[in-house]
């Protein structure tokens, strides 16, 4: 059971970094730091979008319009942090 919990925590940690990478990529893309016509840039951007958009879309649906500022990744990171801490502080001691 402990191996399953550690695997879930690892998956949460990996998704945490994917969300951060997607946010940084969106900034680089918005400020024309990366070339949007480059095939590698397009592939990376598409992969990050497909990995993060299913989790960010429901959050964006409930968020008010903040004038072009998207804080949905921050809220998703807070949710992931809460889940990780809940698993570590509540579930792991009950299993051990």
Whether 14 is covered by a domain: the verdict is yes
Q: What pLDDT is recorded for position 69? A: 87
Whether 96 is covered by a domain: the verdict is no
Q: What pLDDT is recorded for position 48? A: 97
pTM for this prediction: 0.90
Between CA 68 and CA 25 the distance in angstroms is 16
Whether 69 is covered by a domain: the verdict is yes
Give residue 76's domain range: 2-91
pLDDT digit string, tens, across residues 67-79: 888 899 999 999 9
Whether 6 is covered by a domain: the verdict is yes
Instruction: Provide the domain count of the chain.
Output: 1
């Amino acid at each position: 059971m402990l191996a399953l919990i550690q695997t879930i925590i690892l998956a949460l940690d990996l998704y945490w970094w994917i969300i951060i990478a997607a946010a940084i990529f969106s900034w680089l893309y918005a400020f024309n730091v990366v070339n949007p016509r480059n095939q590698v840039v397009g592939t990376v951007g598409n992969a990050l979008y497909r990995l993060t958009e299913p989790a960010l879309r429901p959050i964006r649906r409930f968020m008010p319009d903040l004038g072009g500022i998207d804080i949905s990744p921050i809220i998703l990171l807070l949710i992931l942090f809460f889940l990780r801490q809940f698993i570590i502080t509540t579930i792991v001691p009950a299993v051990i």
